[in-house]
Amino acid sequence: MEQRLLNNPEYWDNFYARYSFPSFEELGFNNVKRTELEIVEQPRILNNLHSLINDFWADYSMTTPGAKRNLKYGVMGTESIENVDGVLKVRAFEMDYATTVFSSDRRGEHYTSLLTQSEQGFLQNKLATLGVIGITQDHAGRYLVGTKAGTRITGGLKEPLPMGMIDLHKTPNGFDPFMSGLLNELHEETGLYLRNVAEIRPTHFSIGMNYGDFALISDVKLRQGAEEFVKISNEHSYIAFLSKEEIKQVNKYEMNPVLVGSLTAKGVYE
């Protein structure tokens, strides 16, 4: 974790306050059977930012070795989703990881000063990147949690596995984008495959518009014995299955807000 954020509960409480975790029922999305993407045009205001984002990425990529400008899906918050006869329809547009980073606090004060007020409002309150979160349990009901590797903002924090953004190049045409994204992240972060999974059930959204996060949360139940095949990736320094009681004993400031929010929404963490 970045040094300035250590032992800084005020910062983290503010971070928590900017997230919400509405359930499907709270959004009025009952009996959802599958999800579908409808690709729409990028908002005009985002098109006007391309040159500035290119300049930002040139600086960012020099200080962040290995950063890739992969294509992602962008949305305009909950106004981009609706339930149509049991199909969760998502109106999304193509953008790249540079735009994702630029829309967050990571763009820095220099680039923020070059934005108009309307552009700042759009990036802070409207633009988000589609992602997936799996609240994964083994056959005994323990939760799979990983400690994020690295020293950046989430480094050293415990987070749910799997979790990540949806990549266009990893989503086959005609496939459920959230299911494909979740299974891709599951394999990359734990080494598990679909054959190790007994059930996947979407339940909530994780929405942090200030940070450009818009992720579908799903319960992932593993088959008996699947935990024996779990492997740690280079994204995490440690992974473990924790009981509900063990999770409750962890200080919330040691966990990614997404983990706390997801488990609180499900009644696991208090």
Rounded Cα distance, 202 and 236, in Å: 24
Number of domains the chain contains: 1
Q: Is 166 helix (H, G, I), strand (E, B) or coil?
A: coil
- Check pLDDT > 90 for residue 252: no
Residues 206, 41: Cα–Cα separation, whole Å: 24
Is the confidence at residue 116, as pLDDT, over 80?
A: yes
The pLDDT of residue 66 = 82
Is 150 within the bounds of a domain?
yes
Indicate the pLDDT class of residue 169, thresholds 50, 70 and 90: confident
Which is higher by pLDDT, 209 or 136?
136
Residue 151 has pLDDT above 80, yes or no: no
Domain membership of residue 58 (yes or no) is: yes
Q: What is the percent of the chain with per-residue pLDDT over 90, rounded to a whole number?
A: 71
Instruction: Identify the three-state secondary structure at position 134.
Output: strand
Instruction: Select from 139, 152, 141, 133 the least CA-distant residue to 259.
Output: 133
**How confident is the model over 51-73, as pLDDT tens digits?**
999 999 999 999 888 889 999 99
Establish whether the linkage from the previous residue to 65 is cis, with ω within 30° of 0: no
67 part of a folded domain: yes
Q: Which domain holds residue 226?
A: 3-265
Mean residue pLDDT of the chain comes to 91
The rounded distance, in Å, linking the Cα atoms of 185 and 134 is 9
Amino acid at 117: Q
Quick check: is 53 in a domain? yes
For residues 23-37, give the mean pLDDT: 88
Task: Assign residue 210 the CATH number of its domain.
Answer: 3.90.79.10
Residue 145 lies in a domain: yes
Q: Where are the beta strands (DSSP E) in the chain?
A: 34-39, 71-75, 81-84, 87-96, 128-137, 143-148, 158-160, 163-165, 197-208, 213-222, 236-242
Residue whose C-alpha is closest to residue 184's, from 203, 205, 173, 169: 169
In the chain, count of helices (H) and strands (E)? 9, 11
Residue 270 lies in a domain: no
> How sure is the predictor about 119, in pLDDT bands with cuts at 50, 70 and 90?
very high
pLDDT of 5 strictly over 70: no
If you average pLDDT over residues 203-209, what whole number do you get? 93
Q: Which pLDDT band holds residue 1 (cuts at 50, 70, 90)?
A: low
pTM here is: 0.93
Note whether residue 41 is domain-resident.
yes
What would the 3-class secondary structure string for 3-25 be? HHHCCCHHHHHHHHHCCECCECC
Indicate whether 174 pLDDT > 70: no
In a domain, residue 132? The reply is yes
Confidence of residue 2 (pLDDT cuts 50, 70, 90): low
Q: Round to whole Å and give the CA distance between 195 and 163.
A: 19
